Structure 1
Amino acid sequence: MQAVILEEQPTIAVTIVNGREFMTNSKGDLVAASNVKPEDKLQDEMVRKQIKFALALNAQITRFRDHCMADIGAFDDLLAQEYGARIGGKKGNKTYQTFDGLMKVQVQVADLIDFGPQLQIAKSLIDECLNEWSTDSRPEIQTIVTRAFNTDKESQVNKSELFMLLRLEIDDPRWGRAMDAIRDSIRVTGSKEYLRFYHRLSIETPWTAITIDLAKA
């Protein structure tokens, strides 16, 4: 028995076994292509076509980012060689602008944040507070806590909601200890650079972001 995979097949992925066409299902079993519903074949073809283009676009964006960072690095090295200084603040954020002031590129450095075991202590203290307070007295705090701590998945938290808790002023010693525990739990595990592109029609008009994000395009 000889199986042949059709290479570079733009439509349905078909395996030929003894001259017959088969498709592989999600369990890894070969199913005769003639027994597969037409709508399932059509869906398979559509998804494969879109994934093919998505992978190509992803590779193109990766190459684009690498070229941009290489150009920026070369420019920074030139400045460092010429003036002994580099563009950027203490956190590494940098802005590059055209001579006419109508285009700019920003390199933003964001910290990668994780949380240590102190976070579980904070959650226990917060739970104590919520259990003793009247259920009607601070419903907005209960909502924030619920959103901040995802109890369905261990150690998963909503960072923005968690930081909102730190901004709340609550006169309860346990709450204060809980906030201290949250602050002590914060760990910076690294950083990541993001490229942002902007342009505008004139100096008087606001900047417009050049979107390279499928969700925001």
Structure 2
Amino acid sequence: MQTYFTRKALFFHLNLAKVLKKPSKKDASAQAQEVDKDLISPEMQKKRYEAAMEFVKELQEKIPLVNGKPHAGTVLAIAARIAGTNLYRAMNYSHAVEPGVVVLSEEVNQAWPQLMNLFAFYCKQNGIDVMAKPVVTEFPEKDKPLMTTEQVQAEYQDQYDKIMKKYGLDYLNAARAGMVVSSIVFQYHITSAKDIDPYIGAGIIAMGIVEGAKTVPPPLKSGN
């Protein structure tokens, strides 16, 4: 099977301030105080990239295959939902809810677009402008993910969490690392395998982030 990292892309030492939306005058001072230094820190960008690459390598051993090949929609959904799951955990909710329950969260509504902006930034560095068209929300049957969000969380979250902790990444930075993972597998399926339309793929990423961020995950085996 072809690998997802035959051509390394440099995802660190980039001007990530570009992914931050320009605030209105009303919100400018507040946002200036809230800008997370970890987002633009070259050291943290390097850690996120290295952690993402390690997960991509392990993901290749556990990818669902269709006719012997990775299924694009499923692979993209895995990456995005795992990122979204870490965004959920970054919210540090105090409520006790059963795994699999969908939580309506205004916090997620405010937070997930920045992850999507980060994904779009990485894609544009590789020559693909995924924001050139409105986000696709309806997908052809052949491209729909073959795993549910709950299945993705159960199958991949512990492996992902172990790698993120190895690199000293908290949940928010683990979510950002998930956008590196997403952009790597997206690049492969768009430019190498050429088995999914880029705007459909980007739509699956967008929906996957939200699905992961709004679906209560099972407890981590690490207990954290």
- Same-fold call, TM cutoff 0.5: no
TM-score, length basis structure 2: 0.20
- Structure 1-normalised TM-score? 0.21
Q: Highest CA radius of gyration, 1 or 2? A: 1
Higher helix share: 2
Q: Per residue, is there more strand in 1 or in 2?
A: 1
